[in-house]
């Protein structure tokens, strides 16, 4: 495969997914990781991505890709993550669930016989849970951002401030043991931070392509994660780093 072809495919994946892993790209292209790292350096120099440990993230916010276009990415993996995540829930809990395609899969996987209180700023998640007879649903209103598929801004933050949750199921754009949980959009990160402050524990379910990557806006430190739900193929060394920070690892 020619260099220009690799560069275009990397740009396409960054546009669709927001991040890439060097090892995964090397395997996909049938080239060495050194070759992929050189590709990423060239793309970063051109301002087309930003290098992070293990790969790269998109220079432009991933949220410029509407949430509906991201839903089909890694759909099977997200379904497995969702099943493992809902196994952590207990009857009577109050949850914050923010926006994201993995979190939407989690909402769909919540058993119909589980009574919960769920507060969300995601219209998709609110719609998924709207006919769940045992869930008390709280929709955190505010300015709707169609690219995020969620409400953000002052009104949303005020609504979050009135609540406390047992768990916050946090949708992560990037997750790195040193940078912690990060997001691509400032307003989105602000809502996530508010939910984290008002929660007794954080749960993150994340596909492997987001591990060891970072977006521009910090949400929470790695030490705040109580449960980390990942694919069975997730790199053991990275998981060990999160365990040392106090996270309980769950393989899906």
- State the pLDDT at residue 157: 98
- State the pLDDT at residue 69: 52
Is 233 exposed, middle or buried, given 0-12, 13-18 or 19+ CB atoms closer than 10 A?
Answer: exposed
- Most confident range, picked from 6-15, 58-67, 134-143: 134-143
Q: What is the pLDDT of residues 201-230, one digit of tens each?
A: 999 999 987 888 877 889 999 999 999 999
Q: How far apart are CA 145 and CA 187, in angstroms?
A: 10
Q: What is the pLDDT of residues 108-120, one digit of tens each?
A: 999 999 999 999 9
Question: Strand 217-220 vs strand 180-183: parallel, antiparallel, or unpaired?
Answer: antiparallel
- State the pLDDT at residue 11: 86
Domains, in order of start, for the chain: 3-60 (1.10.10.10), 67-251 (3.40.50.1360)
Beta-bridge mates of residue 143: 152
Taking 80 as the threshold, does the pLDDT of residue 15 lie above it?
Answer: no
Taking 60 as the threshold, does the pLDDT of residue 169 lie above it?
Answer: yes
Contact 144, 150 (CB under 8 A): yes
Contact 223, 181 (CB under 8 A): no
Task: Give me the mean pLDDT over the 51-62 stretch.
Answer: 73
Q: What is the pLDDT of residues 71-123, one digit of tens each?
A: 556 789 999 999 999 999 999 999 999 999 999 999 999 999 999 999 999 99
Tell me what percent of the residues of the chain surpass a pLDDT of 70: 94
Residue-averaged pLDDT of the chain = 91
Closest to 184 in 3D by CA, of 99, 57, 16: 57
């Amino acid at each position: 495969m020619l260099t220009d072809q690799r560069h275009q495919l990397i740009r396409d994946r960054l546009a669709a997914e927001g991040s890439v892993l060097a090892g995964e790209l090397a395997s996909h292209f049938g080239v060495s990781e050194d070759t992929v790292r050189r590709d990423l350096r060239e793309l970063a120099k051109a301002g087309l991505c930003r290098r992070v440990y293990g790969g790269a993230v998109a220079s432009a916010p991933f949220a410029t890709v509407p949430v509906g276009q991201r839903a089909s990415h890694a759909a099977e993996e997200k379904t497995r993550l969702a099943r493992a995540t809902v196994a952590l829930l207990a009857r009577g809990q109050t949850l914050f669930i923010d926006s994201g395609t993995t979190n939407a899969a989690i909402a769909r996987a919540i058993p119909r016989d589980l009574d919960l209180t769920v507060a969300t700023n995601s219209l998709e998640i609110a719609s998924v849970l709207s006919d769940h007879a045992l869930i008390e649903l709280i929709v955190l209103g505010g300015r709707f951002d169609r690219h995020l598929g969620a409400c953000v801004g002052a009104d949303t933050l005020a609504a979050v401030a009135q609540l406390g949750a047992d768990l916050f199921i946090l949708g992560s754009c990037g997750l790195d043991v040193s940078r912690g949980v990060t997001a691509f959009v400032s307003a989105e990160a602000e809502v996530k931070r508010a939910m984290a402050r008002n929660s007794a524990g954080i749960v993150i379910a994340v596909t492997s392509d987001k591990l060891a990557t970072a977006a521009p806006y910090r949400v929470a430190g790695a030490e705040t994660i109580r449960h980390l739900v990942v694919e069975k193929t997730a790199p053991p060394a990275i998981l060990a780093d999160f365990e040392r920070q106090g996270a309980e690892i769950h393989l899906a």
